[in-house]
Chain A
């Protein structure tokens, strides 16, 4: 079964764009939650990550704050 990947974003965040491009380049399916529009997702993100910066990425329950290519690759089993 594929690992579930979620990304919490804002529309103007460059690191969110970089992360989504990394997913696309590597064929990773993800669910995007725009926290400017989705108040439930916004509160969930703040509560779970304990901070207010985006992107926050949830890979199978593990949270990553910010675009960290090495960490993403490690958790997704991608060679970079």
Chain B
């Protein structure tokens, strides 16, 4: 049951958010976790082999365990979209779509990232009509078909490996002259032999198709042609954070556009913390283990802040809210 005041509101239900929920719950804080896409990127990451303590597990199943663990210590986890967060005095006022406004002493952003698109004409029109952004979801649909995977990172290679179980031919388009995947995933890719062909230093210049994806124009010719036909195209070129809420709050970003934080996951705004893929604390190394680690640290910082600042938000919330209402 939703209350009107929480010690901490966590925005995001991925590995970072659920880890923060577990720790804040164990600190006996009242915690509300709000997220739109349950499990974040992990839920659609396929099988996870490198989360310590778990030999192998589907990403979605791992997120469900984290959710159950957080709920067992009192965390309230809801589907929802946070539209606005405002700081008034010592309180944060959180607006969740179709729900009443709630107050919080602290906020943890675990908002993750959104997958990048190619930004080419035709891309949106052909979405799900041959163009996809989730290999674990739609890759297996291309049984005995030819597909193109765009990207040279770990997600692209993992996606190609999964799809190779079903497709007859896969082309990987890598912008650079090497792949940036984990060696173990590269080894697995090599085991597919000639089924997977890598086109290095090659990008998509144009998407061609009417009602259905047909082919792409390449930035560099392959086999004497600057066009490559396929049944499907999967875009796995990384992700970027959604910074709408942090920007509105005046949170400082780093030079790459991620939320800036110190080692205690504190942002420049007192009472606001960040965890997970939305922050670049470990550079481009973004894993479940780093997300969960940051969630635990952010939770501890929020707990310490709450202890020091006691009930300031509760004490001042009514007059602050009234003044704000009069001013508006």
Give residues in A with beta carbon < 8 Å to B. 10-18, 35-36, 39, 42, 50-54, 65, 69
**CA separation between A16 and B141, bound complex, in Å?**
13
- Interface size (B, Cβ < 8 Å)? 24
Stretch at the interface among B7-15, B129-137, B201-209: B129-137
**CA separation between A69 and B37, bound complex, in Å?**
12
9 of the cross-chain contacts (CB-CB < 8 Å) are A10-B137, A10-B139, A10-B141, A13-B134, A35-B141, A36-B140, A50-B129, A52-B232, A65-B128
Q: Is the CB of B141 within 8 A of A51?
A: no
**CA separation between A35 and B141, bound complex, in Å?**
7
**Interface-central residue, B58, B79, B141, B162, by most chain A CB under 10 Å:** B141
**CA separation between A52 and B230, bound complex, in Å?**
14
When A11-B140, A12-B140, A53-B128 are in contact, do A69 and B79 touch as well, CB less than 8 Å?
Answer: yes
CB distance from B4 to the nearest CB of A (A): 22
* Majority secondary structure of chain A interface residues (helix, strand, loop or mixed): loop
When A50-B129, A52-B129, A53-B132 are in contact, do A15 and B138 touch as well, CB less than 8 Å?
Answer: no
Q: Is the CB of A15 within 8 A of B143?
A: no
Give the total number of A-B pairs whose CB atoms are below 8 A apart.
58
Q: Is the CB of A52 within 8 A of B130?
A: yes
**Contacting residues, chain B, for A65 (C-beta < 8 A):** 128
When A39-B143, A65-B128 are in contact, do A15 and B166 touch as well, CB less than 8 Å?
Answer: no
When C-beta atoms are compared, the residue in chain B nearest to A8 turns out to be: B141
Q: Is the CB of A42 within 8 A of B143?
A: yes
CB distance from A45 to the nearest CB of B (A): 9
When A51-B129, A52-B129 are in contact, do A10 and B140 touch as well, CB less than 8 Å?
Answer: yes
**Contacting residues, chain B, for A11 (C-beta < 8 A):** 140
Q: Which B residues, 118 to 152, have Cβ-Cβ distances below 8 Å to chain A?
A: 128-130, 132, 134, 136-141, 143
**Contacting residues, chain B, for A12 (C-beta < 8 A):** 46, 58, 136-137, 139-140, 162
CB distance from B168 to the nearest CB of A (A): 14
Q: Is the CB of A54 within 8 A of B166?
A: no
CB distance from B237 to the nearest CB of A (A): 19
Q: Is the CB of B60 within 8 A of A17?
A: yes
CB distance from A4 to the nearest CB of B (A): 23
